[in-house]
Each structure stands twice: as C-alpha cells, then as structure tokens.
Amino acid sequence: MARKIGKQTVVFDKNIAILNSACCVGKVEGEGPLSSTFDLHFEDDYLGQKTYEAAESEMIKQAISKVLKKSQISQSDIDIAITGDLLDQSIASTFAIKDFCLPHFSVFSACSASALEMGIGAIFIESGAAKHALCTASSHFCTAERQFRFPLTYGSKRTPNSQRTVTGAGAFLLAENKNAPQIKAVTFGKIKDYDITDANNMGAAMAPAAADTIKTYLEDTSKRLEDFDLILTGDLGKIGSKLVVELLKKEGIDISKQHDDCGLIIFDLNDEKCVAGGSGCGCSASVFAGHIMQKLKNGEIKKMLFCATGALLSPTSQNQGLSIPSVAHLVEIEGCKL
C-alpha cells in the first residue's frame, strides 16, 4: 500500500521502477551538449510528415517503439498509457497513441507532464491496476510557437528571457522491479499564480510553483537536502532557475549546490536560438529519459528529486490578458547501485 504523508506526498511500498526509457529529439537538440544521450535525433523538423503536429506524433511513436523494444515487451503488455503534450486537446498524443491500440488517457499539466505521469503511473502499479504503465511527454518547437506565440514564418524576434521549446519526446516504462531506477515518492503540486502575464517569461511564472512543491516535499518527508545528489527542475531556464534558488533561500532552504535544470543543460546557451534555455514537456522528458537515466543506471546519481514545472497558459487566456498560473509535480528517484 502507498502511504500519504504530510500534505501532498505519497510514498510507495512496492519497488516501482523506471524499467526503461527512450527519447527522440530534433536537430538543434541533437547538436547540443546532450547529443550522445538521445536514442534518436532527426535532421528534418517534419520527420517526413505533412505537418509539424504530425511530426510531433511521429516522435512520440518512435519513442514508444524504442522503449518497448528495449524492454522486450509488446504493446499488448501495456496496461495503461498516460500521455501529455502542450497542444490543444493533447492532439499530438492522441494521434500517436491511436496507432498503438492501448488503454489510454492524456493529462494536461503543461511541461510538468513527465513527473506527473511518473507519479500517476506509480500509483497505478502500487494499486495493482497495472503491471506495466507507459508514460510519454512531448513538445515540438514549431507546433508550440505557432500555438502560443507567433507562426514561425513571421520571423518575429525573440526576447532575451524567452526559452526555446524543445523538439523532443520521452517515453518511460514503469513496472515493479528491483534492478532499475526506483520511484520512491511523488508530491502532487498546487497551482501558484504570481500574476506573471508574459508568455515569453515562463521561467518566472513557474519558479514559485517549483519552490512550493520542493518545500512541501521536504516538509512532508522530513528529508534533508544533503540526502540528494541532484535536485532537478524541469524547464525553468536561466531566469526561473535563479528565482527558484532565491525563493527557497528566503525559506531557509539552500538548494544552490544540488540544483540543476533540464532547460539549462539541453542547449548550448551561447547559441542565440536558445537564449534563456529550453522549455516544453519534451525538455524534461528527453533530458530525463536520456542523460539522467544513464546516470541513475550507472550509479552516478544515487538519490535525486525531479521536479517538473508547468505553465498553465492557453492561447485564449493569453488573449484575454490573464495571468499564467503554474504548477510543479515532484518525484523522488533512487539510482540503481546504492
């Protein structure tokens, strides 16, 4: 049985593992510092499809096929598929999953999808409802820009604090197993709204949510920061990463030594295309599925917190001038060789 502890945290009893993961990314990501950690990277942003949306679906499909192959299981072994993307009505995931014939639902929690899905998937396994849970999260620079900001063909200039949506998809296979990275606990986040309205400054919008979830996890579990090799946020980028450290310092929590952010490490930040770092569901998903999973499997990371962050804006809420409420969900992960 799982146990709810404190205000928002669930601790697992079973050995719930991320058995395998896979990730596919686009050209810019494939040329970045984490190049060697991705399973596949594509030169063509269309992946041979007619639209960018179809290209995003294709990335998800490739990531799923890859993780099934690595795990040597077939799609009929999957009890539940949980997916998440940024597009209206989760359409990238829908058109990917429909070809796999899997029991399925999508979550929407913006770029916090990867950690959220790991938490939900772990609960499915803990309850006995699933032996194998498949989680995917994706984003595509071209689908996100058109939807949330401007069509690319406008060629609009990027602001200095704007993050680049990662073209990438990650897939994770969860199952009960002792010999793979373990999901020990999940903290489901609450929505925080600091009245940021600028869709080009999402790091600032999301930082308070990340700070709140990390603080809540530490209070709920009475764990100490020294217990962790790494506290990894999802896609706060340059500005949000500074802010989350500052916000937590005010609460007497200094994460500066252990903190890193997927949005900071996926791109070469000297590249003018990637001014303030990466963002998107595919950012944390592909960094975790590749780079981080390698380190968890080879024992380089022993204990970590993965806190994925989501900016819950929509084109409609932006057009109406509303603020950007944000949320962060956190999973506690242990590496293989403790």
Point out which residues pair with 175 in neighbouring strands: 17
User: Of 15, 49, 65, 147, which one interacts with its own copies (CB under 8 A)?
Assistant: 147
Q: With binding defined as CB under 8 A, does residue 264 bind its own copies?
A: no
In the complex, the smallest distance separating the C-beta of residue 154 from its own copies, rounded to whole angstroms, is: 18
Say if CB 81 and CB 124 are below 8 A apart. Answer: no
Pick 152 or 191: Cβ nearer its own copies = 191
Q: What are phi and psi of 305, to 5 degrees?
A: -115, 135
Query: Considering only residues 19-78, where is the footprint of its own copies by CB under 8 A?
Result: 51, 53
Q: With binding defined as CB under 8 A, does residue 1 bind its own copies?
A: yes
In the complex, the smallest distance separating the C-beta of residue 54 from its own copies, rounded to whole angstroms, is: 8
Q: Pattern of binders to its own copies over 166-195, x per CB under 8 A?
A: ----------------------xxxx-x--
Pick 38 or 188: Cβ nearer its own copies = 188
In the complex, the smallest distance separating the C-beta of residue 112 from its own copies, rounded to whole angstroms, is: 8
The first and second tokens of residue 318, run together, are 């932006």
Enumerate residues 6+ apart whose C-beta is below 8 A from 279. Answer: 111, 139, 163, 164, 165, 166, 202, 203, 235, 237, 263
Question: Measured between alpha carbons, how far is 109 from 120 in angstroms, rounded to an integer?
Answer: 12
The first and second tokens of residue 305, run together, are 């917190």
Question: Measured between alpha carbons, how far is 203 from 104 in angstroms, rounded to an integer?
Answer: 30
Sign of CA dihedral 187, 188, 193, 198: positive
Q: With binding defined as CB under 8 A, does residue 210 bind its own copies?
A: no
Residue indicated by tokens 């896979």: 22
Question: Measured between alpha carbons, how far is 5 from 10 in angstroms, rounded to an integer?
Answer: 6
Enumerate residues 6+ apart whose C-beta is below 8 A from 146. Answer: 52, 152
In the complex, the smallest distance separating the C-beta of residue 172 from its own copies, rounded to whole angstroms, is: 17
Q: With binding defined as CB under 8 A, does residue 338 bind its own copies?
A: no
Enumerate residues 6+ apart whose C-beta is below 8 A from 238. Answer: 161, 203, 264, 269, 276, 277
In the complex, the smallest distance separating the C-beta of residue 337 from its own copies, rounded to whole angstroms, is: 28
Q: With binding defined as CB under 8 A, does residue 151 bind its own copies?
A: no
Say if CB 24 and CB 168 are below 8 A apart. Answer: yes
Question: Measured between alpha carbons, how far is 118 from 83 in angstroms, rounded to an integer?
Answer: 10
User: Of 20, 21, 71, 109, which one interacts with its own copies (CB under 8 A)?
Assistant: 109
Q: C-alpha distances in angstroms, 159 versus 176, 212, 237?
A: 45, 27, 14
Q: With binding defined as CB under 8 A, does residue 197 bind its own copies?
A: no
User: Of 35, 44, 69, 101, which one interacts with its own copies (CB under 8 A)?
Assistant: 101
Number of residues that bind its own copies (CB under 8 A): 58
User: Of 22, 24, 111, 130, which one interacts with its own copies (CB under 8 A)?
Assistant: 130
In the complex, the smallest distance separating the C-beta of residue 325 from its own copies, rounded to whole angstroms, is: 5
Q: What are phi and psi of 234, to 5 degrees?
A: -80, -65
User: Of 19, 55, 63, 86, which one interacts with its own copies (CB under 8 A)?
Assistant: 86
User: Of 20, 71, 90, 163, which one interacts with its own copies (CB under 8 A)?
Assistant: 90
Enumerate residues 6+ apart whose C-beta is below 8 A from 31. Answer: none
Q: With binding defined as CB under 8 A, does residue 332 bind its own copies?
A: no
Pick 211 or 296: Cβ nearer its own copies = 211
Return residues touching its own copies (CB under 8 A). 1-4, 7-8, 10, 51, 53, 79-80, 86-91, 94-95, 97-98, 101-110, 116, 120, 123-124, 126-131, 147, 188-191, 193, 312-317, 320, 322, 325, 327, 329
